[in-house]
Structure 1
Amino acid sequence: MPRPDRSRAALLDTAALLFRRQGYAATGINQILDGAGVRPGSLYHHFPDGKAGLAAAVVDTVGTGIGALLRALLAHPDPVADLMDRWVDILIAGLAADERDGCPIEPIATESVTASPLVRTAAAGVFNDWIGAVADRLRTDGRPGDQAQQTASAIISLIEGALLLSRVTGEPGALQHAKTAARSLLETGR
């Protein structure tokens, strides 16, 4: 049985933390290598596109994990508005634990618009997956396809924007307001 590659995992874990807390541009390759305890050759062995390839892999890995958690939460039979309240509560708890931690995708995604098409594509895919998770649940609950997609996009946009504002202000108020607004969107059109 092959041994798991600790270098790749260390690079992904270290980069995910640094990108989330500092952003893409402010995180240097040497900082990632030092934090991961690996040599430059390991970075380019696993990520031939260098920092952009690593960032895209972080976005894919972390975003897929979050998408799986979101889908697991949305699989519960409770009303979707209650489930989204729980999701926002998880985000509020995460910020309370460490205000440097917001959405692990947003800092990379925002900078990727000008920094890297590779990362931008990965980030767009992750956000679309999260929207798809909410839309799938809304369709299951009987919402028409287009309406489900539009509502899901609005919900994810609302929560991501509120998470950014709450992170910047250091207060959960925007996320609390997002819960109210999300509930209103979700309960309209039932």
Structure 2
Amino acid sequence: MIVNAFRSAVGLGKQSIHPEEAVAYMESAGLIVRTAIEGITSLLASRSMMKGELGAEDRTMVASRDNNPLKLMPDINNVLQFLLDKKKLNSNAYLSPMQSIAGACEDLVYHELGTAAGLRAAVEGSIRRFNPQLIEAEFDKSGKKIVLNRKASLWETYIENYKKTETTMADDVGQIFERDFRRAYDEQIRKLKKK
């Protein structure tokens, strides 16, 4: 029976189902598959947009073989037709359905881990800008006369730096993400792909 073939394929045991219930069962299974594939393709599109926003590498390109239809086909019906239509599977242009789904899920996990590494690096880069030693070095380079209360003067230098940072924050955030986030994100993705 078709229901038991499906249940076996997803790792469930056989179940006694009345033939009239089998249609409803398979319709429900079809809706679950459609919803899952829509979710995966939506997450892949979101990932691509986010990578563009953050300036991270996006290497999804059309090749002569082994393309992932979940990344390339914008229409869910085309994706499902590819995944479920045996006639489409003979093409070397695309990965197999299982490879496509596994690859997409792996890319999403890598993206999540890369984003975490990138955010950590961006925050660390932001905090480093307010390192007291850097502020002291800037104060010493400024040529300001040594005053009686060095700590108060350093505090004034810190406040000046903060005001400058606050004024240029939009540009600074972009630079931090360009430099720190992207470097850590790309490095994390490379490490994960080597495993």
User: TM-score over 0.5 for the alignment?
Assistant: no
